[in-house]
Structure 1
C-alpha cells in the first residue's frame, strides 16, 4: 500500500527533481499565514476558491485557473470555500518560462489531468518512469498557459490603502472617487493620479477587478447570477455577464458548468 504524501510544503522544496507536487485539502476559512518558498509555485485547486495576497496584489483563484508565484515571493492564502489544493513546486532553474511576477493562468483540460496524475506519483519519482514524463509535459504546458487579466494590484500610499481596504471590505457599496477623496482628505485629482501610478489601473478599472473577484466568491457559494449582478450594482445580469466574459473569456454560466 502506498504511503500518503506529505501535506507540508517544506518537504517539497529540497527534492532532487525539477517538479514536485503536493496534495492538500483545507476547510473553508482556513488561513495560511504569510510565507515563501525557495521554489516557484503553481497554486492550483481542483475544486474550491482561494484568496491569495502579496505586497503587490491580491488574487482570487478559482478552479480552472492557477496562480503562478515565483520563488521567494511572500504570500498568504485564505480558503473562501472548502479547497482541494494540488500545488506544484518548480525548481528555481526551471522557472524562467513562467516569469518573475505573480500571474493568474488558465489551466487547460490537459494540464489539469496531468497535475491530477502527477500528484499521485512519489515525491522522489523514478527518473526513468511515469513521474518524469508527466513532469516534463507539465512544464511544457505551464510555459504556454495563457494569462488571465484578473488581479487586484495593491498600493503603498497610505491614503490609497484606506480607500482600497474599504472598497474590498464592502464591494457592494458603490462610492465615487469624489466620496473617497473627501474621506481621506485629498483631492479627487490626486486619487485619480495615485490609482494609475500605484496600481497601473484607473479607479474604475480597479473597482471592476474587485467586483469580478467578489462575483467569483458569490458564484462559488451558489448565489444566483441575477442576485450577484444586482448586489454589485449592475443594471442587469446581461451587463454583468458581458464584463465577466470580457475578462474571464467565458460567461458565468459556462464558468460554473466547468467547475
Structure 2
C-alpha cells in the first residue's frame, strides 16, 4: 500500500490530488474540507458512521466536511480527489474558494460526466504550493459548477443506528449469502422480527428486504471489481439462480454484471 495523502498541509481552498494504491486500508479520519473521490480505476469501498458505499470506475463519492470515514480497496485503485473548503470558518488558513453553485449538502455517490473527469485529471497536475493563477481558478470554477449538478448514483446503503439493528446488519455484511430469514436474524440479535423490521424502515429508509438486496448488490460490485465471474459472484452474495441475479443487478445499475465494468 502506498502512503496515504494528507491534505492538511495545503492552504488552497480548492485543489485536486491524484493517487494510486496497490491496496488501501485507511484508518478512520475526518477532513475539514469536503471531498469528492473519483474512482478512475479499481473499486473503492467507503464507510461512514451512517452509511456504506461501493464506488466502481467512472463513479465518485461526495463526502461533506467533518464527516468521519474510512476507505478500503483490496486491489489496485487510481483515485482523483477534489478537496473543497466549503466553510471558511472551518478552514481559516485557506485562500478564498472560487464562487460556485451550491455543492451537495449530504454525502452520496455521483456520476461524473466526461468533462468532470477530464477537469479532475487536469487539475491534479496544478501546483499546490502557491495560490492558483487566473487560468487555474477558472478551471476550478468550472469543475465546482459541474460537481454541483452531477446526478446521484445508487451505490450506497444507509446503516442503522440502533444497536439491535446494527447486529443484524453486521451479521449480513459479514456473510451476504446467508439464507437466514428476518425472524432468525432478529432472534440472534435479541429483538423481535416486528421490531427489527420497524427499525430498518425507520433508520435506513428501506424495508429490511430492500436493504438486504442492496447490501448484496454492493457486495457483488466489490467481487466483480476483483475480477470474479458473474456465476461465482451470484453465489457469493446469495443468489442460487444466476439469471435472477443478473435481472436484479440490471434493474439497479442499468446494465448487466458482465458489461458494467467494461
SS at match of 1:141: helix
Cα distance in 1 for residues equivalent to 2:184 and 2:79: 40
Cα distance in 2 for residues equivalent to 1:164 and 1:25: 31
**Equivalent position of 1:127 in the other structure:** 133
The answer to whether the 8 A contact 1:148-1:247 is kept is no
Per the TM alignment, residue 235 of structure 1 is displaced from its structure 2 partner at its CA by 4.9
Per the TM alignment, residue 136 of structure 1 is displaced from its structure 2 partner at its CA by 1.8
Matching of residues 1-259 of structure 1 within 5 Å: 7-12=5-10, 14-15=11-12, 17=13, 19-28=14-23, 30-93=24-87, 97-123=102-128, 124=130, 126-129=132-135, 131-257=136-262
Cα distance in 1 for residues equivalent to 2:5 and 2:196: 44
Q: 1:61 to 1:159 in 2, by over 3 A?
A: same
Q: 1:238 to 1:137 in 2, by over 3 A?
A: farther
The answer to whether the 8 A contact 2:100-2:145 is kept is no
Greater per-residue helix proportion: 1
Per the TM alignment, residue 249 of structure 1 is displaced from its structure 2 partner at its CA by 2.8
Unaligned runs of 5+ in 2: 88-98
The answer to whether the 8 A contact 1:51-1:80 is kept is no
Task: Tell me the alpha carbon deviations over residues 135-188 of structure 1, each in whole angstroms, 9 at most, x when there is no partner.
Answer: 122112211111012212111211111111110011121221011122122221
Cα distance in 1 for residues equivalent to 2:214 and 2:108: 14
- Over 3 Å off, 4+ runs: 93-96, 235-238
SS at match of 2:212: helix
Moved more, 90-99 or 115-124: 90-99
Cα distance in 2 for residues equivalent to 1:224 and 1:155: 31
- TM, length-normalised to structure 2: 0.87
**Equivalent position of 1:3 in the other structure:** none
- TM, length-normalised to structure 1: 0.88
SS at match of 1:115: helix
Per the TM alignment, residue 23 of structure 1 is displaced from its structure 2 partner at its CA by 1.8
Q: 1:126 to 1:102 in 2, by over 3 A?
A: closer
Q: CA RMSD in A?
A: 2.0
Number of equivalenced pairs: 247
SS at match of 1:35: coil
The answer to whether the 8 A contact 1:7-1:23 is kept is no
Per the TM alignment, residue 250 of structure 1 is displaced from its structure 2 partner at its CA by 2.7
